[in-house]
Amino acid sequence: MSAHFPAMLLTATAFTSSISSFLLAFPALFSIVNPFGAALIFAQATAGRSQTEIMALARLVSFYSLCLIMASLWLGSMVLAFFGITVNALRVAGGLVVAVRAWHLLQSPETVEAQKEKQALQGGRTVMAPNWADAAFFPLAMPFTVGPGTIAVAIALGSGCPADEPFWAYTIGTTLAGVCVVAIVWAAYSGADKLVSMLGVTGTRIVSRMAALVLLCIGVQILAAGVQGFATDMWRHLLAIKLHA
């Protein structure tokens, strides 16, 4: 039994790491993507289309959104290394971006909705052209569903594995979180008309404000982790200088 104990301990640690990373990544991604609020505008963008076409467009947008989020989660650390950007710098920048966006959404959700509506409707036009599927990637998937803030959060999450946790287990948790968020996006977009009639504008804004509050807390947490990382590195550097003096 003692021979299997280390393996059992590793499995338990990996499971705990996956759960904790999922619980960190899911609310962060869900809050910044805001599927229910986006579904309101998606319904306007697809006004006049048949349910079959709306379902097909929702699948395409969800697929492209999944690709963007997964690329940011998995390849973000490589991009950081290529440009020589530290994880702490990304945490500070990403935390600021997320916190500012959340603050704007809390204070004036109508302004954020108007901006997203402008992106989705391509300057006031609904997606009514014969080649409507071309709009699935731009602007509906990016930047409407997955914008710069979402990409910054995903990169920060993908690069934020603690040193004492298995990287593969941490990645499984963040990946599952991304998949779950995109699944909610697909469900919300596919049933956008029903969601709008059920929640209404007021109900959707209430959900958006609640998500914005969670997002603000997450942004502050990411920012604090970056500042703490900078402080720790500086302390170690000063300690090393003192020891070699």
Domain-wise residue ranges, the chain:
17-244
Most confident of 6-10, 34-38, 107-111, 210-214: 34-38
Query: Would the pLDDT of 6 be above 60?
Result: no
Cis peptide bond N-terminal to 139, omega within 30:
yes
User: Is the Cβ–Cβ distance between 184 and 118 less than 8 Å?
Assistant: no
What is the structure's pLDDT at 5? 43
What is the structure's pLDDT at 93? 82
Query: Would the pLDDT of 26 be above 60?
Result: yes
Query: Would the pLDDT of 51 be above 70?
Result: yes
Confidence bin at 89 (pLDDT 50/70/90)? confident
Element (H, E) at 129: none
* pTM, 2 dp: 0.77
Confidence bin at 124 (pLDDT 50/70/90)? very low
What is the structure's pLDDT at 118? 60
Q: How far apart are CA 176 and CA 86, in angstroms?
A: 25
How many C-beta neighbours within 10 Å does residue 172 have? 18
Query: Would the pLDDT of 130 be above 60?
Result: no
**Helix and strand element counts for the chain (H, E):** 8, 0
Element (H, E) at 228: helix 192-244
Q: Nearest CA to 43 among 214, 227, 204?
A: 204
Q: What is the mean pLDDT of residues 145-163?
A: 85
With a pLDDT cut of 90, the percent of the chain lying above it is: 23
Confidence bin at 148 (pLDDT 50/70/90)? confident
Q: Nearest CA to 104 among 1, 178, 32?
A: 32
Per-residue pLDDT tens over the stretch 184-228 = 999 999 998 888 788 776 777 777 778 778 878 878 888 888 898
Q: Which two tokens stand for residue 227?
A: 């500042």
Place of tokens 């550097």: 237
Residue positions counted in the chain: 245
Confidence bin at 116 (pLDDT 50/70/90)? low
Q: Average pLDDT of the chain?
A: 81
Query: Would the pLDDT of 1 be above 50?
Result: no
User: Per mean pLDDT, which range of 31-45, 72-86, 91-105, 157-171 is the poorest?
Assistant: 91-105
82 burial (CB, 10 Å; 0-12 / 13-18 / 19+) is: exposed
What is the structure's pLDDT at 9? 43
Q: How far apart are CA 42 and CA 143, in angstroms?
A: 13
Q: How far apart are CA 149 and CA 95, in angstroms?
A: 9
